[in-house]
Amino acid sequence: MNHTPHRVAGKTAIVTGGRGDLGSATAALLAHHGAKVASLDVAGVPAAVSHESIKEYDVDVTNEDSVAEAIHRVSDDLGAPDILVNAAGIIGPAGASHTASVPDFDLIFNVNVKGVWLMTKHVVPGMIGKGAGSIINFSSIHGITGGRNVPLYHATKGAVRLLSKSDAAAYGAYGIRVNSIHPGSMNTRMSRRSAEQSDIGPEAYYKQLVGSNPLPRQGEPNEIAYGVLYLASDESRFTTGSELVIDGGYTAI
């Protein structure tokens, strides 16, 4: 890690999905660089990392009462948030659109889109009061490109991408920046499970997945976390409504 931990010093950050691979790496890096971090996730999920500046909270991002209560508690404990990282998300079942069910649709849109909107809705008033804030929403390379395997997931990530741009336009006058981050294939527990369950075996699975990328490997969670750190910090104070793609070049070809 970079040993100059001053990039978000004194700021309060909320990270949803904070106990997952990408969320926990993000929470740890923000804490290392001086932020007071609230790591929010569903009850019962164990924390992947610990840090004296990370405080754990349970939340259901699909439930407005749960979101409002969690943000109220964070604000009381750590102060009104300066940074919101919406990293919580699910992929849902694979299959073409005609094979999905209404419950499949509702679940993935509730977590991936409604959850981002609810968190933003309840964090923004405090940021307006401060006259500043940075919101980073996790989309995906598949919020930019399509794909045949999980179309509902892709649709949610496209929605997050455009919600980010719309909120950037709406809140810029209040000093609030909103950007989306777009990871490619990442070395996470979810990816490793998919590789182990594939019919072709892990080695062939990864070759098929990233072998044709300009950088032919998966990304590491910390490589996404550093992108979030940039967007969260004042270094990016003229950056809003943008897409930060970290994908090993997948979308370049």
Q: At what angle do helices 151-171 and 102-109 cross, to 10 degrees?
A: 30
**What is the C-alpha to C-alpha distance for residues 88 and 164, in angstroms, rounded to an integer?**
15
Q: At what angle do helices 115-130 and 64-78 cross, to 10 degrees?
A: 30
What are the angstrom distances between the C-alpha of 157 and each of 5, 114, 243? 31, 12, 12
The one-digit pLDDT tens for each residue of the chain (253 residues) are 445 668 999 999 999 999 999 999 999 999 999 999 999 999 987 776 778 889 999 999 999 999 999 999 999 999 999 999 999 999 988 899 999 999 999 999 999 999 999 999 999 999 999 999 999 999 999 999 988 889 999 999 999 999 999 999 999 999 999 999 999 999 998 888 878 888 898 888 889 889 999 999 999 999 999 999 999 999 999 999 999 999 999 999 9
- All domains of the chain, ordered by start, with CATH? 12-184+221-246 (3.40.50.720), 186-218 (no CATH)
**What is the C-alpha to C-alpha distance for residues 108 and 104, in angstroms, rounded to an integer?**
6
DSSP state for residue 114 in the 8-state scheme? I
Give the residue carrying structure tokens 């699975």. Answer: 205
At residue 147, the 3 state secondary structure works out as: coil
Q: Look up residue 166 and give its two tokens.
A: 């719309």
Q: Could you tell me the sign of the dihedral formed by the alpha carbons of 42, 47, 51, 52, in that order?
A: positive
Catalytic annotation, residues: 153
Query: What burial letters (b/e) apply to 197-211, b meaning 16+ CB within 10 Å?
Result: eeeeeeeebbeebbe
